[in-house]
Structures are given as structure tokens and as C-alpha cells.
Amino acid sequence: MPYAPGFPIPPSSPPRAPLNAAAPKSLLITGVTGLLGATLIRDLLLDGRSLAVVVRRSRKQSAAARVEAIMVHWEKTLGKRLPRPTVLEGDLTRPLCGLDADARRWVGEHCDELLNNAASLTFRGSDRAEEPWRTNVTGISQVLALARETGLRHVHHVSTAYVCGLRSGLVMEDDLDVGQPFGNDYERTKVEGEKLVRAAAEPAGGFLDTATVYRPSIIVGDSSTGWTSTYHGLFAGLRLGHTLLTKVTKGTTSGPALLGLIGVALHDTKNFVPVDWVSAVIAHAVQTPSARGTTYHLTHPEPLLMDMVGRLIQQAVESYSQDASPDDPDLCDEQWFADNLGTQLDIYKSYLRNDPTFDRSHTAAIAGHLPCPPLDMPTLMKMAKFAIDHEFGRKSPWLAAAETSPAPMQARRASEGIR
């Protein structure tokens, strides 16, 4: 079956053949090989939006092959064909995101908006020449430079609810830098990145017509399937429980005890949001011109009590993890973890600390018809099962990963007469 007509399909460079003049303009997106970005391209393509993506090559795969693996995954999951995005190989840390003059000309002619979703989720790093600064601050300058050079006037940017740092109380969607202290360098970089994007849309000195900012809280897996491709946030605590259970004798610890070990109070709350909802709201906002120019807290109206997270960890590892054998000579105890995992425990602490209240009036105004799915125990258990079954990322999340390579992709395109 041929791909839908009208969608540009070059693998890693702009199309050689002229596009149909009536072809819809594309949305240029970054970060589509990650958890949220991959879900976003699925949803936007299902909505019929034409897309172009900026992706870096990996050690083993070209940018085009990486995107193709994601597309084949979604086609298998959905049981239907999807049009392909145009793939532009690039890297946010390079000048103009590493797009050469031809690619930039192509963007100028064929794209009308930009959604910057790429980021480094490295939490610690004070050297501004390294991550997370390189991608989240220098990289955003390059994204904006690219938008300016190619004439893109509307930029959407994925930030984080945790630009609020260590604030407590009520945090409004228009708040940004109120002199708050931060929990880690990642949060600092996301504030600086957001400031750059907002400044680019200032009437004085800016060049954008609108900058729209989306601030999710901690993103977890898909609420209906449990699928995820990364294991931050909620999964960090679960992974600790899973690892501990495979190292200590069953019954000598518990999920709530583990949270105590990392200094989490069970009456604290944490805001988690399923990736399918975050993607649905962004996809809707990107395609709703009246939603432009605003900042949105993409947060759950009902944050989770840490007590429930403790019970989830307990129930999930008991149901899905492999128990430690009492005869295992490598058996440890909780104290061993406390003594040996100091740095990692700090990272868990900064993920699972108590949250402020996120005002979500702007989000409710544009996405009232998209209620956030409840994160009840059965839904969370589905996500935990996926994480444990996929060994927290050791097994690929992409159904197509084992069988997709650039060669068959080229062959299929040729046989379909695309070029």
C-alpha cells in the first residue's frame, strides 16, 4: 500500500523532487525519538498534520532509520499505515541545529511552525559547556536562530512544571523566575531556555509572532497500554524497589520503607501525567491558533500521594520482579543500598520530593474536552509491568527495532515509486 500522497518523504535530506505547491506546510519538530516526541508524531500524523523532524544519528543508525523504526512501531501498534515525516538530520548543539543551507531553504519553503520538544534530561552538571546546558540553553538559542533564519513565526516549546524549582504553595502558569531556589541543574536550564523562547516573542526585540510553552509535570507511560521508552520519575523509585528486591530476602523490606530510605514522606504528593494525555493536549494546542502565545501547566488535577507510590512499588515488584534467592551469596540489605547508592539516592530524592500546587486554568480553558486519565492502581500497575518486563530500558520499547534497518526502508520506497 503506498503512503498517503502529499507527504514529503526524504530520509535525511530535503526532497530533490519539487513538492506539490498545494501540499500543506509542515510542523517542524525536535526530540521525536524520545518518550513524548514519539507519541506526539503518532498523534499529529493521525490528525493529518504534515511533519518534518530534526533528529540526530545514533552510533548505529542514521536519523532516517531511527524515525522509520518508530513509525513501524506505531503502524504495528495501531494496525494501520501512517504517512512519513520528512527527516532532517541535525543536532541542537550545532550552529543552526546542524542543518545545511539546502535543508534550511527547504524548511523556509515547507514549514510554518516549530515545536521544540528536545531536551537533555541530565539532572546534574554545572559546566555550561556540557549537558544539560548544551541542549537546553545553547541548543534553544540554535533552535531560535533556525526559526529566525527560516522565517518561522510561531514557536511551541516543551518546558517542565519544575521550572518552579523548590517553590511551595500555588504556582501560576504565567510565573517563571521569581527568585526561587532549584533542586537541580536541569531545572535551571529549563528556566533559561523558557526565558530565551519568551524573549524571542517580545514585541520589543523579538522576531516571533507567538511563543507557546507547555509545562508537563513528571511524564509516565501510556495510560492504556503502559508503554514507555524512558524510565525517569516514577520509574526511578520502581527501579530501586525492583533492584532491591532482587538483592534482599523477600519480606525484609517494603515499598513504603524504601521511600523512607530516600527521605520521602508518605503524606507528600507528586504530580504524574500519562504521556498519551500530554501528547493529546499539545497536539490539540498546536493545531488551535487561538491557543498560541500562552503557557500551559500540563499537570494532573489529582496528584498522587507518595503512600500510593510506595504501595505501587510493593505490589509491582511482588507481582512482576524475580525474587532474590536466599542462597545468593550477593544478598544485601537496605543499609547496603543506603551506603552504596548515595549519588543515585540523591537523584531519586529530587524526583520524588513534595510538589507545590500547579494552577492549570490555561490548560483547562483549551483542553477541557481532554480529561486527564486517572492514575489509579490498575493503570499504574500496567506501567510498572511494562517497565519490569522491558528491564527498565534494556529491552527496546520499539516493536520494530530488531527488524528495521535503512536497507529495507530504501527498498520499500523505491518499490512504491516514491523516488
Based on the shown chain and the rule CB under 6 A, indicate whether residue 125 belongs to the binding site for ligand NAP. no
Residue among 206, 24, 3 nearest 109 (CA): 24
Residue among 366, 237, 235, 238 nearest 298 (CA): 366
For ligand NAP, the closer CB: 37 or 356: 37
CB of 40 to ligand NAP, least distance (A): 9
Q: Give residues with Cβ within 8 angstroms of 111, minimum separation 6.
A: 25, 26, 27, 28, 52, 150, 152
CB of 416 to ligand NAP, least distance (A): 27
Based on the shown chain and the rule CB under 6 A, indicate whether residue 37 belongs to the binding site for ligand NAP. yes
CB of 232 to ligand NAP, least distance (A): 5
For ligand NAP, the closer CB: 62 or 321: 62
Among 230, 243, 249, 410, binds ligand NAP (CB under 6 A): 230
For residue 155, list its beta bridge partners. Answer: 114, 211
The grid coordinates of residue 96 equal: 543552526
Among 233, 241, 274, 303, binds ligand NAP (CB under 6 A): 233
CA angle 65, 66, 72 (to 5 degrees): 80
CB of 321 to ligand NAP, least distance (A): 23
Based on the shown chain and the rule CB under 6 A, indicate whether residue 120 belongs to the binding site for ligand NAP. yes
Site for ligand NAP in 164-203 (CB under 6 A): none
Based on the shown chain and the rule CB under 6 A, indicate whether residue 14 belongs to the binding site for ligand NAP. no
Among 219, 283, 316, 317, binds ligand NAP (CB under 6 A): 219
CA–CA distance, 42 with 56 (Å, rounded to integer) = 19
CB of 253 to ligand NAP, least distance (A): 26
For ligand NAP, the closer CB: 69 or 258: 69
Based on the shown chain and the rule CB under 6 A, indicate whether residue 85 belongs to the binding site for ligand NAP. no
HSE, side-chain direction, 13 A CA sphere, residue 50: 19
CB of 283 to ligand NAP, least distance (A): 14
390, 328 contact by CB (below 8 A): no
- C-alpha to C-alpha distances, 370 to 272, 279, 289, 298, 365, nearest whole angstrom: 16, 11, 17, 11, 11
CA–CA distance, 220 with 218 (Å, rounded to integer) = 6
For ligand NAP, the closer CB: 268 or 318: 268
Based on the shown chain and the rule CB under 6 A, indicate whether residue 363 belongs to the binding site for ligand NAP. no
Please tell me whether residue 27 adopts helix, strand or coil conformation.
strand
Based on the shown chain and the rule CB under 6 A, indicate whether residue 216 belongs to the binding site for ligand NAP. yes
Residue among 206, 191, 120, 204 nearest 155 (CA): 206
Among 27, 137, 218, 248, binds ligand NAP (CB under 6 A): 218
Based on the shown chain and the rule CB under 6 A, indicate whether residue 93 belongs to the binding site for ligand NAP. yes
The sign of the torsion formed by the CA atoms of 40, 41, 46, 49 equals: positive
In Å, the largest CA–CA distance within the chain is 71
Length of the chain: 419
Q: What residues line the site for ligand NAP (CB under 6 A)? A: 30-37, 56, 91-93, 117-121, 135, 139, 158, 160, 216, 218-219, 230, 232-233
